[in-house]
């Protein structure tokens, strides 16, 4: 499922008409349709990653694992890919000439704490989510101890509280943060956009929800919602996100079905039921999904520069999108094979005082 989420982010960026400028459809109607279909896909994919991170870390955590060992392994999982793609973007896209405060904050994964779009979207823009993930990693050992103490009968109310807290945050931003001046191409202000979407502490609720869903499944409190109904609920949430005000479509409209789908898939996998996500090809795609996510924007930027404004009739344009997708997948596999996997194999070996977590999902 991780790769599906990463692919949604790719399609969202590929469809943009203003920011990325890759959308290759000559016909304005086709270009607008492409953008309209995937207009919320990026938001959905990132929210999926955050909930999944909380779920996987909680599901695979062990009582005898050290906090230091856990954080070390997580950094070894994300930082080599981040550094390599940061370096490529600096060299290939001319980012070496930007304000040092921009590229340095990106390099150190501090960019999402800064309410300036040239900073939190600077250099390799998808890496802003790693800034949030870094906060999750640092907080996880403390959070996990406390969530582990929640009685089984209170897990569902706590999950509901996490969702309500996320909604309350969006409502507060909507009500109290100035909505003007509008951000470029946005129906809200840049300050609202940053607080509601990029600011790391306000994305913590999705991570905590994922942690609680893992405990619900492990505690036997999951009602065994099937994967197909959960997927149907997610489709409904996506359609809802297209209709509600912009702020509430960023994550609030989809976070419940995202959490249900992740838990339904994990329950099916634990019972060894076929899901379509546990086949060999999907496992491989899941392994390269993080590298794919980290490198896809570089591919789209290079493709945009090569296209130089050229647009095509629908069939050819669709092939161009497919070619960019496959190029991103190839680049992601190379990054995984040459950087991520060797680093994880060599440097993340458990020490005597720490036990390796079974999963390294991003």
Place of tokens 């191409």: 185
> Residue 165: which of 203, 215, 127, 191 has the closest Cα?
203
Is residue 23 pLDDT above 70, yes or no?
yes
Q: State residue 326's pLDDT score.
A: 98
Is residue 360 pLDDT above 50, yes or no?
no
Q: State residue 88's pLDDT score.
A: 93
Q: What is the pLDDT of residues 32-80, one digit of tens each?
A: 999 999 999 999 999 999 999 999 999 988 777 788 888 888 999 999 9
- In the chain, the N- to C-terminal Cα span, in Å, equals 12
Q: State residue 362's pLDDT score.
A: 41
Q: State residue 356's pLDDT score.
A: 37
Q: State residue 358's pLDDT score.
A: 38
Q: 56 CB contacts (<8 Å, ≥6 apart)?
A: 210, 214, 359, 361
* Residues 157-162, mean pLDDT to the nearest whole number: 98
Residue 189 main-chain phi, psi, to 5 deg: -80, 160
Alpha helix locations (H) across 110-226?
117-120, 128-147, 155-176, 190-193, 204-218
Is residue 348 pLDDT above 90, yes or no?
no
Least trusted range by pLDDT, from 86-100, 141-155, 327-341: 86-100
Domains of the chain, residue spans:
2-347
| Global pTM value | 0.92
Least trusted range by pLDDT, from 120-124, 213-217, 358-362: 358-362
Q: State residue 352's pLDDT score.
A: 38
Q: Which two tokens stand for residue 208?
A: 């905590």
Is residue 353 pLDDT above 60, yes or no?
no
Least trusted range by pLDDT, from 133-137, 141-145, 154-158, 346-350: 346-350
Q: State residue 276's pLDDT score.
A: 75
Is residue 346 pLDDT above 50, yes or no?
yes
Q: Percent of the chain having pLDDT more than 90?
A: 77
Q: Which two tokens stand for residue 99?
A: 């304000």
């Amino acid at each position: 499922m991780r790769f599906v989420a990463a692919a949604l982010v790719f399609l969202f960026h590929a469809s943009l008409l203003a920011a990325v400028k890759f959308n290759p459809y000559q016909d304005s109607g086709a270009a607008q349709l492409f953008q309209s279909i995937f207009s919320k896909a990026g938001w959905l994919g990132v929210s999926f990653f955050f909930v999944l991170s909380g779920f996987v870390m909680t599901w695979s955590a062990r009582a005898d694992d050290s906090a230091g060992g856990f954080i070390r392994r997580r950094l070894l999982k994300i930082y080599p890919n981040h550094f390599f793609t940061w370096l490529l973007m600096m060299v290939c896209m001319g980012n070496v000439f930007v304000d040092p405060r921009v590229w340095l904050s990106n390099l150190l994964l501090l960019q999402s704490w800064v309410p300036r779009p040239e900073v939190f979207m600077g250099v390799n823009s998808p890496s802003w989510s790693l800034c949030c993930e870094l906060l999750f990693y640092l907080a996880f050992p403390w959070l996990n101890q406390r969530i582990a103490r929640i009685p089984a009968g209170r897990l569902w109310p706590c999950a509901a509280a996490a969702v309500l807290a996320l909604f309350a945050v969006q409502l507060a931003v909507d009500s109290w943060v100035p909505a003007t001046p509008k951000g470029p191409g946005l129906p809200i202000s840049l300050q609202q956009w940053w607080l509601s979407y990029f600011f790391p502490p306000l994305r913590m609720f999705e991570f905590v929800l994922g942690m609680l869903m893992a405990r619900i499944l492990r505690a036997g409190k999951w009602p065994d919602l099937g994967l197909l109904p959960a997927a149907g609920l997610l489709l409904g949430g996506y359609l809802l996100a297209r209709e509600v005000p912009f702020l509430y479509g960023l994550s609030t409209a989809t976070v419940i079905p995202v959490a249900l789908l992740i838990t339904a898939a994990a329950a099916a996998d634990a019972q060894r039921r076929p899901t379509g996500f546990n086949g060999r090809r999907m496992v491989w795609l899941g392994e390269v999904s993080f590298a794919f996510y980290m490198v896809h924007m570089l591919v789209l930027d290079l493709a945009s520069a090569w296209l130089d404004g050229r647009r095509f009739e629908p069939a050819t344009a669709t092939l161009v999108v497919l070619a960019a997708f496959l190029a991103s997948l190839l680049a992601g596999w190379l990054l995984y094979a040459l950087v991520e996997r060797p680093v994880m194999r060599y440097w993340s070996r458990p020490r005597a005082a720490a036990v390796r977590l079974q999963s390294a999902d991003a």
